[in-house]
Chain A
Amino acid sequence: MASLIGSFALVFGLCLSIFIIFFSIKNFKDNNILDKKVVSLTFLQFFFVLISFFGLIISFVNSDFSNETVFNHSHTTIPIFYKISGAWGNHEGSLLLWLLVLTLFLFLFISTSKKQAKQYRILTLLFQQIIIIGFFIFLIKTSNPFNYIFPVPNEGLGLNPILQDPALAIHPPILYLGYVGSSIIFSSALSAASLSYISKGWAKHIKQWVLISWIFLTLGILLGSIWAYYELGWGGFWFWDPVENVSLMPWLALTTLLHCILVLEKRLALTSWVVILSIATFALSMCGTFLVRSGILNSIHTFANDPERGLFILIFLFILIFLSIAVFFFFHKNENQNIKNLFWLSKETSILVNNWFMMYFLSVVLIGTIYPIFLEVFSSEKISVGPPFYHSLIIPFLIPFLIAMAFAPRLKWIKSKIEDKIQMIIFFVISFFISLLIVKNFDIDFLLNTILITSAFYLFFITLKDFFSKRIGNLAQNLAHFGFSLLILSILFNNIFSKEVITNLKIGETFISEDFKINFENVDKKNEKNFKAIIGKFNIENIDGNIEVLNPELRIYNQPNIITSEADIKTNLLTDKFITMNVVQNQDYFNVRYQVKPFMIWIWISVILISFGGLISILKKKYEN
């Protein structure tokens, strides 16, 4: 029943698009005010998609296996929380969620942009409707979440156990708010470009949307990363997997856009940058959807290997790209030429420098991600691009980037000179000596690491100092930059100081190394509703005699029948202790992996700080208004 309602609601939602387009085109030329009908219809469309979404959730909660999606991704024994999150833990449901956010954001945009010109609002609405219609058709035609199966099966196939996890349950909605938020920026930029509406006021208005998408995208990536850290069981948090890359690319574009918007808001320069980046952010999000959903790449997120789906998104993506290129070239007029008389030492120039750095990082990630596809098509050769590629291309450029990040915010608009030169140099020297002390005790690539840590420390100290300085102009920016320095430092220390032991242990055995002893005391069994667990008890004795007990688990899920290994992690401010165990077939010992990972929690904290910077910026705007 719920499925039936959901299914009809989808079709109604699609039909509403026609009315919305009809009334908005009629409204575009005539009155001076926006037709109330358009606003209500937009709300109605959102409402229908919401009904459809609830229909799917209700089908999942009731375990209605006559619905194909429910049958494929749920089971009666799964806890209710994962039944609900299972609704978007699959291809069809996640697209419905995507559509929900699209219509929600459009409604929010229309109802909050009252101060903007009518024509601009309507054109944005029209561009957004193109995207919405595309997704409606995609959903109904190739990935309908409400397909009916008969005879009705008694039991579902179950939800993949690695998706039965709180972080992953909220990861898709948060990430989609970021991805889809960029669709509003895209439509709005195209609309503003074609109407020559780009102004300081427009920048101010669109900045809110950029910030919102950026915060959600940052948090969404963070959640995915945390999940990978404790669920995939080998203690890393970023694998340069294509799926991670496709979320990083829009993030890089969006971050650059965020900086450009600042210039546009203050100086009405870099307009073309803003338009191109707005297009690029959304195109990259869509491109990510294509790469992930079409099965062209092998990855953990490839739910669906259906070429028809891939073809649809591919064609849709390129229609949008060609449309935006056409708009950019034939409607967008780059009137202001202030850009030519930029003074070399000014905020504008520094942001331009930042842009080029970001574009470089973006291209590295883009090439690393899609080059294998190109190579395979042209030469049938299969390669995979791994961390060494990204590290060797990105790390050296991180050094000037970090240093620029430290002093660029201190520059003034238009024309500036470096102040507090002596202070800046002192900070640099201090950073250098600290890094030297840290690096010299370790057998690592000396020169590169020293310089890298120096530059990260430099940014760290400068931004830290600015929190206490009287002329703190921009708390949001300073917090975000401080968070970034902390992120780089934590990642570096995490890499340098990590210790790892992989060994096979029988119950009762002890592994002894220089720094710690691992004693495998016993195993315990536990029965849960949808899985059986084997819990190991490990006593870790540190060099100082402290004993900690860690309990990694092996979970044998009943539906589908999959064994997962749950890490046990003891976190404190300085270091994470991470242990996983795995069964070895036909043997009475377990494979044990123990890692000491310093500053792990600071990686998460620093990303939260970065997004907090964005939040403060939004709140400040609200407060000023």
Chain B
Amino acid sequence: MKTKISFLLLFTFFLIVFLTFYLGLQKSNIYKPSLKIEKDIPIYKVRTLESSNRINSEEVFKDNRFYLLNIWASWCLPCRDEHEFLIDLSKQKNFEIIGLNYKDNINNAKKFLKELDSPYKLVFLDKDGTVAIEWGAYGVPENFLIYNKKIIKKIIGPIDQVSFLEIKKIIQ
């Protein structure tokens, strides 16, 4: 009897060790700094591509809704590559894409959107690049995922298949 109990105890113990190791194997052991940004979005007033009125950025991003701020320019080649992903994403529910047109010629920007179709609900104009600095961007293209007026994810460089699926997963 006593043997059986100790046997079972030991057996369970090793089973737990086994399971822990098993779970440990599934985890990636590549150490990367955690990117928990959760920073508030910057507040500013700029013109948009759609109208000549200045719009307050706070009014654009509403609570309980996902937004993707996409920094782009017509002269930027990688922006063309990510454009089809943006079009695809713009069809998602409870989700809007806001553009930030960076150091661009307005006419070229309009032509770009006409040619490739526009995924944007709204496009901020950032002729001298100061708004992009407020966002803390490194360059074009760059994307910020926003929820409840907070930046929850930052994608440096164009959106690719991996980040596309990741964004989709988050907003769903």
Q: Answer yes or no: B44 CB below 8 A from chain A CBs.
A: no
State whether A329 and B6 are in contact (beta carbons under 8 Å apart), knowing that A311-B25, A314-B25 are contacts in the complex: yes
Return the chain B residue nearest A384 by Cβ.
B31
Check if B25 sits within 8 Å of A296, measured CB to CB.
Answer: yes
Tell me, in angstroms, the Cα distance from A294 to B22 when the chains sit together: 11
Check if B27 sits within 8 Å of A325, measured CB to CB.
Answer: no
- Given B3, B6, B7, B24, which contacts A296 in the complex, CB threshold below 8 Å? B24
Give the interface segment out of B13-21, B86-94, B109-117, B133-141: B13-21
Give the interface segment out of A373-381, A430-438, A550-558, A594-602: A373-381
Q: Answer yes or no: B37 CB below 8 A from chain A CBs.
A: no
Check if B18 sits within 8 Å of A377, measured CB to CB.
Answer: no
Tell me, in angstroms, the Cα distance from A17 to B31 when the chains sit together: 42
Tell me, in angstroms, the Cα distance from A329 to B26 when the chains sit together: 32
Q: Answer yes or no: B51 CB below 8 A from chain A CBs.
A: no
Check if B31 sits within 8 Å of A382, measured CB to CB.
Answer: yes
CB contacts under 8 Å to A, within B14-54, are 14, 18, 20-27, 29, 31
Check if B10 sits within 8 Å of A325, measured CB to CB.
Answer: yes
Distance in Å from the Cβ of A429 to the closest Cβ of chain B? 47
Chain B interface residue count, Cβ-Cβ cutoff 8 angstroms: 18
Most buried by B among A290, A297, A374: A374
Tell me, in angstroms, the Cα distance from A294 to B25 when the chains sit together: 7
**A382 contact set on B, CB distance < 8 A:** 31
**B23 contact set on A, CB distance < 8 A:** 377
Tell me, in angstroms, the Cα distance from A513 to B4 when the chains sit together: 68
Most buried by A among B11, B14, B29: B29
Return the chain A residue nearest B23 by Cβ.
A377
**A330 contact set on B, CB distance < 8 A:** 3, 7
Distance in Å from the Cβ of B3 to the closest Cβ of chain A? 5
Check if A325 sits within 8 Å of B29, measured CB to CB.
Answer: no
Most buried by B among A326, A373, A376, A382: A373
State whether A314 and B7 are in contact (beta carbons under 8 Å apart), knowing that A298-B29, A325-B14 are contacts in the complex: no
State whether A329 and B7 are in contact (beta carbons under 8 Å apart), knowing that A290-B21, A373-B21, A374-B20 are contacts in the complex: yes
**B11 contact set on A, CB distance < 8 A:** 322, 325
Distance in Å from the Cβ of B148 to the closest Cβ of chain A? 23
Q: Could you tell me the dominant secondary structure of chain B's interface residues?
A: helix
Distance in Å from the Cβ of A277 to the closest Cβ of chain B? 15
Distance in Å from the Cβ of A508 to the closest Cβ of chain B? 41
Chain A interface residue count, Cβ-Cβ cutoff 8 angstroms: 24
- Given A297, A307, A321, which contacts B14 in the complex, CB threshold below 8 Å? A321
State whether A314 and B27 are in contact (beta carbons under 8 Å apart), knowing that A322-B11, A329-B6, A329-B7 are contacts in the complex: no
Q: Answer yes or no: A318 CB below 8 A from chain B CBs.
A: yes
Q: Could you tell me the dominant secondary structure of chain A's interface residues?
A: helix
Distance in Å from the Cβ of A159 to the closest Cβ of chain B? 24
CB contacts under 8 Å to B, within A356-414, are 373-374, 376-378, 382
Most buried by A among B22, B24, B26: B24
Distance in Å from the Cβ of A133 to the closest Cβ of chain B? 20
**A298 contact set on B, CB distance < 8 A:** 29, 31
Check if B26 sits within 8 Å of A373, measured CB to CB.
Answer: no
Q: Answer yes or no: A295 CB below 8 A from chain B CBs.
A: yes
Tell me, in angstroms, the Cα distance from A373 to B18 when the chains sit together: 12
Check if A318 sits within 8 Å of B18, measured CB to CB.
Answer: yes
State whether A296 and B31 are in contact (beta carbons under 8 Å apart), knowing that A325-B10, A329-B3, A329-B7 are contacts in the complex: no
Distance in Å from the Cβ of B144 to the closest Cβ of chain A? 25
Check if A373 sits within 8 Å of B14, measured CB to CB.
Answer: no
Q: Answer yes or no: A310 CB below 8 A from chain B CBs.
A: yes
Return the chain B residue nearest A373 by Cβ.
B24
Tell me, in angstroms, the Cα distance from A250 to B7 when the chains sit together: 23
**B27 contact set on A, CB distance < 8 A:** 376-377
Tell me, in angstroms, the Cα distance from A536 to B1 when the chains sit together: 72
**A373 contact set on B, CB distance < 8 A:** 20-21, 24
CB contacts under 8 Å to B, within A443-481, are none
**B26 contact set on A, CB distance < 8 A:** 307
Check if A297 sits within 8 Å of B29, measured CB to CB.
Answer: yes
**B21 contact set on A, CB distance < 8 A:** 290, 296, 314, 373
Tell me, in angstroms, the Cα distance from A330 to B7 when the chains sit together: 9
**A295 contact set on B, CB distance < 8 A:** 29
Check if B10 sits within 8 Å of A377, measured CB to CB.
Answer: no
Return the chain A residue nearest B26 by Cβ.
A307
**A290 contact set on B, CB distance < 8 A:** 21
CB contacts under 8 Å to B, within A289-344, are 290, 294-298, 305, 307, 310-311, 314, 318, 321-322, 325-326, 329-330
Tell me, in angstroms, the Cα distance from A373 to B21 when the chains sit together: 7
Tell me, in angstroms, the Cα distance from A322 to B15 when the chains sit together: 9
Most buried by B among A296, A330, A382: A296
Check if B24 sits within 8 Å of A376, measured CB to CB.
Answer: yes
CB contacts under 8 Å to B, within A130-150, are none
**B3 contact set on A, CB distance < 8 A:** 329-330
**B7 contact set on A, CB distance < 8 A:** 325-326, 329-330
Return the chain B residue nearest A332 by Cβ.
B3
State whether A314 and B31 are in contact (beta carbons under 8 Å apart), knowing that A325-B11, A329-B7 are contacts in the complex: no
**B10 contact set on A, CB distance < 8 A:** 325, 329
Most buried by B among A305, A321, A377, A382: A377
**A318 contact set on B, CB distance < 8 A:** 14, 18
Q: Can you list 25 A-B contacts (CB < 8 A)? A: A294-B25, A296-B24, A297-B29, A307-B26, A310-B25, A311-B25, A314-B18, A314-B21, A314-B22, A318-B14, A318-B18, A322-B11, A322-B14, A325-B11, A326-B7, A329-B3, A329-B4, A329-B10, A330-B3, A373-B21, A373-B24, A376-B24, A376-B27, A377-B24, A377-B27
Interface residues of B (CB under 8 A from A): 3-4, 6-7, 10-11, 14, 18, 20-27, 29, 31
Across the A-B interface, the 10 shortest Cβ-Cβ residue pairs: A329-B7, A377-B23, A373-B24, A318-B18, A310-B25, A296-B24, A377-B24, A377-B20, A329-B3, A314-B21
